[in-house]
Each structure stands twice: as C-alpha cells, then as structure tokens.
Copies of this chain bind each other. A is one copy, B any other.
Amino acid sequence: MRDERRATLTDVATRAGVSKSLVSLVMRDEPGASPETRRRVLDAAAALGYHPDSRARLLRSGRSRLLGVVFGIQHPFHADLVTGLYSAARETGYELALSAVTPERDESEAIRGLLQDRCEALILLGPESRTAALTRLAERLPVVVLARSVRGPDLDVIRTADATGLALAVDHLVALGHRRIAHIDGGRAPGAADRRRGYRQAMHRHGFDAEIRIVPGGLTEEDGARAAEALLGDLPTAVTVFNDRCATGVLDVFNRNGIQVPGTVSVVGYDDSSLARLAHINLTTIAQDVPAMTRQALARAIARLEDTPITARESIVPPHLVIRGTSAPPS
C-alpha cells in the first residue's frame, strides 16, 4: 500500500483523458476549464488520491508562498502568538513554516533552517539577535519583528506600546489608592526597557518619584520568585511585573509566605497569556492585542512580498488593562 507511487498530475491527466495543463488549472481553481472537464478531473484526482506536490509547484512558479516563523518553544506568550499567526494565515494563500528556538538550538540556527526552506519572508517573535544581524538578514528577504522594539532600515516592527501598558497598570493601581508600587522588571528581555520606562514615567506623572522601586526580575517563574523574595523584607502595597510567567512566580512566593493577594499586596502582570486567565491564578494583567498584532505581522510580510506600498515601518498596537482578582485597594 505504502509502496504505490504517489499519483502525479500526469496520472490524473491520463485518467481523466485530458492534458496536464487542464488538470493544473483545475487543481488551482483557475478559470479556463469547462465545468464538464473540471468535474472529470476532480473525480480522477479523488479516485487516485492525488495531492499536488508543493515542491514541484513552487520550483516551477519560482515562489514558495512560505512565511517562516521563529519562536521560543518554552515561551507561553509565543504560543499565543503562533496560534494567532496560524489563524491570520488562513485564506491568505501563504503557509507558515515553524522553526523553534530551544535551549539547544539558537536563533541563528532556527533562521538558517527557514532560509533553506526558501521562505519568502520571516516573522521573528521577540528575537534575541543583535540589530546588526537582523538588519543584514533583512537585506536578503522581508523581516517582520514581532514583540520587540528594534530600529533597522529594512525591518518591519509590530509591537505593543509597552510603556503605555505599564502606565495603564500604574494608573489602575493608583486609582485604587496605591502609591507604594514596585516594578519587577524583565532585565534585558525584549520590551523590558520600555516597560521600565513606562513605569518610571507613570510614577513620576503621579508625583510618586520617591516611591519608584525597580527590582531585577526576568522572564521566568524562577526570576519572579527570586524577585518576590527580595521584596519580602520591605513589602510595597502593589507590584507590577514584567510578564505573567514571572508574575506567577511572584504569586507563588507570596502565597507560601502567607502574604494575601490582593489583600496585602496587589499584583499586575503583563501579556494576558493563557496563564493569567486560569481561574486559580486570575491575574490582573496588561493584555497585548494578539489578534491585531498577528494580523498586522502577516499583512506586513505579505505586503512587502507583493510590493504593496507601506508607509510606516513600525506599528505600535495599544494594549489594554484586564482587571481580574489580584488587584484591590490597599488595606
């Protein structure tokens, strides 16, 4: 069974008693074949279990219609973005080729794989590569950077207004009556600098310069746990955290130490990842607009490929606050 050669276009043509060209047209849903022929071809194809060979197709047409996506497999928010990208790719005529960054497979390797697959454009999720490397890459093919802020001549960037996001968090907490608000940051992670700045500016705007307190954090639960421990000696009444994953580490340490959330300390995360939505976490957080971001990323990549004129290289998507159970007035 497995050894039967796959059916080819020629097989279908023979069986349907027409030329290859006609079969080609029909398979691509192009006009130019009579309804009668169309039906015959379709029948023959079905009977033979024919599936077009994308490689040959692409080889001939000189295009792959493949968009490469580089993502961090350990990163929950990237999972959300990939989910969005798949949805956005529907009906565009382009396919996604995934390439994961793992602890043992770095970004350049992930990118190399996609280039070899002849992807026409690349979408990079929170890439760690240096700006110079990204710029060089963008000389070869369109590159869309998602969820990281970079400036490069040929780079398209779709990102959240991260500073605004943190301002929303601080404003929310201030509105609740907080003023001793700390920030657990993301270190050198993409977006961390902007979020730090947003926090600082918002605190300043409210006249709480004296309360500004930035604790070194990171992107993982572990980083959050460590940061929370550092906070234990001198608790603020509220904490904004770099991301949801880090925030769960914070919550965990607070729980273990009998610190009520939001009773004693309020916690606000960032990303609105699936983590935050879990009933027992129920984290107040800043939501990045994943559908908008992924739709735009795809649209941008395709526009570059099809030479559609584009004005802005950078697109900044506004975030919004999602109030859940970890924020309340100070006691």
User: Which residues from B are CB-within-8-Å of A116?
Assistant: 51-52, 54
| Min C-beta distance of A175 to chain B, whole Å | 26
B105 & A86 in contact (Cβ 8 Å cutoff):
yes
Name A280's contact: one of B74, B86, B105, B222 (CB within 8 Å).
Answer: B222
Chain B contacts for A204, CB-based, 8 A? none
Within 8 Å by CB of A104, from B86, B118, B154, B278, lies B86
Closest approach, in angstroms, between the C-beta of A291 and any C-beta of chain B?
11
Neighbouring B residues of A171 by C-beta, 8 Å: none
Contact B51 A59 (CB under 8 A): no
Q: Which residues 82-100 of A have a CB within 8 angstroms of B?
A: 82-83, 86-87, 95, 97-100
Q: How far is the CA of A135 from the CA of B55 in the complex (A)?
A: 26
Interface string of A236-266 (1 = CB under 8 A from B): 0000000000000100110110100000000
Q: Can you name the residue of chain B whose Cβ is closest to the Cβ of A252?
A: B280
- This chain: copies in complex: 2
Is the CB of A103 closer than 8 A to any CB of chain B? yes
- Contact assessment for B74 and A274 in the assembled complex, using a CB-CB cutoff below 8 Å: yes
Residue of B nearest to A57 (CB): B55
A53 part of interface (Cβ distance < 8 Å): yes
Given A86-B100, A252-B255, A274-B74, check contact A2 B55 (CB 8 Å).
no
Asked if A117 contacts B54 (CB within 8 A), the reply is yes
**Minimum C-beta distance from A80 to chain B (A):** 9
B278 touches A225 (CB 8 A): yes
**A140 interface neighbour in B2, B139, B222, B258, Cβ under 8 Å:** B2
Question: For the complex, is A64 an interface residue (Cβ under 8 Å from B)?
Answer: yes
A1 within 8 A of B: yes
Q: Are A220 and B83 in contact (CB under 8 A)?
A: no
Is A141 in the interface zone, CB < 8 Å from B? yes
Establish whether residues B102 and A100, one from each chain, have CB atoms under 8 Å apart when the complex forms. no
Option from B142, B256, B279 in Cβ contact (under 8 Å) with A225: B279
Q: Shortest beta-carbon distance, A258 to chain B, in Å?
A: 7
A113 interface hit (Cβ, 8 Å): yes
CB <8 Å contact, A278 and B220: yes
A281 at the interface (CB under 8 A from B): yes
CB pair A87 B104 closer than 8 Å? yes
Closest B residue to A116 using CB positions: B54
For residue A56, CB closer than 8 A to chain B, the reply is yes
Tell whether A25 is near chain B: CB-to-CB under 8 Å.
Answer: no
Closest 3 CB pairs of A and B: A225-B280, A255-B255, A83-B102
28 inter-chain pairs at a CB distance below 8 angstroms, sorted by A residue, are A1-B139, A1-B140, A2-B141, A51-B115, A53-B118, A54-B116, A54-B117, A54-B118, A55-B55, A55-B56, A55-B58, A55-B118, A73-B79, A73-B82, A74-B79, A83-B100, A86-B100, A87-B104, A87-B105, A97-B97, A98-B99, A221-B280, A225-B278, A226-B279, A252-B281, A253-B280, A255-B255, A258-B258
Known contacts A2-B141, A54-B116, A87-B105; 14 further A-B pairs (Cβ under 8 A): A51-B116, A53-B59, A53-B118, A55-B59, A55-B118, A73-B82, A73-B83, A82-B102, A83-B103, A83-B105, A86-B102, A98-B100, A220-B278, A225-B279
